[in-house]
């Protein structure tokens, strides 16, 4: 069952009319229940919310059959208060949202809101999550654009397919995520395949000419592979970095949620694992919660947390 703290949190967010926080706590309760093996109850909580999530309230989009292999509707469950960013990036993400909400004011003065955004940085630092947070907060459907499919399945017709995608974007307001953007964005000069070069030029043109109301978010963890000409096409390029000690502490607190006790020295664990990505920190915390649960504990102990981080860190070193 939900803890007293979670119930109080639900009530507080209701009285503050903070829908986003209300969803977050409810989904946290569902996750806790699922971890305790109460899958049906967890599913019931999630189902109860499905018809009332912020994205469900927005105008949905339908992907036509002939585009289903290149466009995929996503259901992000990321919320603003779970996303941990440094102050600078936090402000930049907030600014995108603010300008989107105030786009009419800007338009009256001949200006447009930041709509074409490039997110670049190492794996597991929150680029895809940021796209989900933007979509959920702005109540936009989120659609993933499969550049890899456009290139592989439509060899010889990739440029035509890209034009079709951008026509769809112009007619269907949503957040479009171009993940692994480097797939197409490789240095033009270094590419001797004519088709790749043509497709890249088409992509640059399509991005430049896009005047839709949609948000275009491109993400890459290989920014060095991108053609310099690409950066100019974006209204904002945000660089993601590995989290610092405070960021790691924050993610640990969020991820352990009700499994955290005051005895745990979160900052000291964070200090020892400063090189970890946000995604690895979340995974280490989830490992710790699983161990605690299977040992019949209601809370994670310092030892369990440290063991989980040590194991995760050893696994990362193996991959290097
Ligand atoms: N900044 C962050 N704050 C909180 N959690 C994060 C953050 N970054 C990553 N995570 C956690 O890690 C998971 C994976 O992150 P995400 O997919 O956004 O990484 P990414 O930067 O897109 O990585 P990749 O380059 O591999 O696509 C998220 O769902 C979330 O649980
Ligand atoms: Mg990603």
Mean pLDDT score of the chain: 88
pLDDT band for 18, please (50, 70, 90 cuts). Answer: low
**How remote is the CA of residue 123 from the centroid of ligand 1, in Å?**
7
pLDDT tens, 33-79? 877 788 888 888 777 765 554 444 456 899 999 999 999 999 998 88
pLDDT value for 93: 97
pLDDT at 94 over 80: yes
Domain ranges for the chain, please list them: 1-52, 57-239, 244-312
Atom 9 (ligand 1): residue with closest C-alpha? 126
* CATH no., domain 57-239: 3.40.50.300
- Which of 90, 279, 287 should be mutated for ligand 1, with most atoms under 8 A from CB? 279
Overall average pLDDT of the 256-269 stretch: 93
Share of the chain above pLDDT 70, in %: 91
> CA angle, corner 280, sides to 275 and 284, nearest 5?
110
Domain 244-312 has CATH 1.10.8.60: yes
pLDDT value for 191: 46
Atom 7 (ligand 1): residue with closest C-alpha? 126
Share of the chain above pLDDT 90, in %: 62
pLDDT tens, 274-305? 889 999 999 999 999 999 999 999 999 999 99
């Amino acid at each position: 069952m939900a803890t007293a703290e979670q119930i109080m949190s639900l009530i507080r967010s209701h009285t503050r009319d903070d829908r986003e926080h209300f969803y977050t706590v409810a989904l946290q309760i569902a996750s806790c229940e699922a971890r305790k093996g109460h899958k049906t109850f967890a599913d019931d909580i999630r189902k109860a919310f499905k018809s009332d999530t912020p994205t469900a309230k927005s105008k949905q989009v339908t992907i036509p059959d002939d585009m289903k292999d290149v466009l995929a509707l996503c259901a992000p469950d990321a919320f603003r208060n779970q996303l941990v960013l440094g102050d600078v990036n936090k402000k930049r993400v907030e600014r995108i949202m603010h300008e989107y909400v105030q786009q009419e004011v800007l338009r009256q003065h001949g200006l447009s809101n930041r709509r074409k955004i490039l997110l670049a940085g190492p794996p597991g630092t929150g680029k895809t999550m940021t796209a989900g947070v933007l979509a959920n907060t702005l109540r936009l459907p989120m659609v993933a654009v499969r550049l890899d499919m456009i290139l592989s399945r439509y060899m010889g017709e990739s440029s035509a397919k890209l034009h079709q995608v951008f026509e769809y974007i112009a007619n269907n307001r949503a957040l479009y995520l171009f993940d692994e953007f480097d797939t197409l964005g490789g240095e033009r000069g270094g590419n001797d395949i004519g088709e790749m070069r043509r497709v890249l030029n088409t992509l640059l043109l399509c991005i430049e000419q896009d005047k839709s109301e949609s948000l275009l978010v491109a993400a890459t963890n290989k920014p060095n592979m991108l053609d310099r000409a690409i950066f100019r096409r974006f209204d904002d390029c945000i660089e993601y970095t590995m989290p610092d000690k405070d960021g790691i502490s924050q993610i640990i607190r969020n991820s352990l949620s009700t499994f955290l006790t005051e005895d745990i020295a979160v900052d000291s664990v964070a200090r020892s694992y400063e090189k970890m990505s946000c995604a690895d920190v979340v995974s280490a915390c989830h490992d710790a919660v699983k161990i605690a649960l299977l040992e019949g504990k209601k809370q994670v102990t310092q030892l369990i947390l440290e063991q989980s981080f040590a194991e995760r860190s050893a696994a990362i070193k193996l991959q290097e």
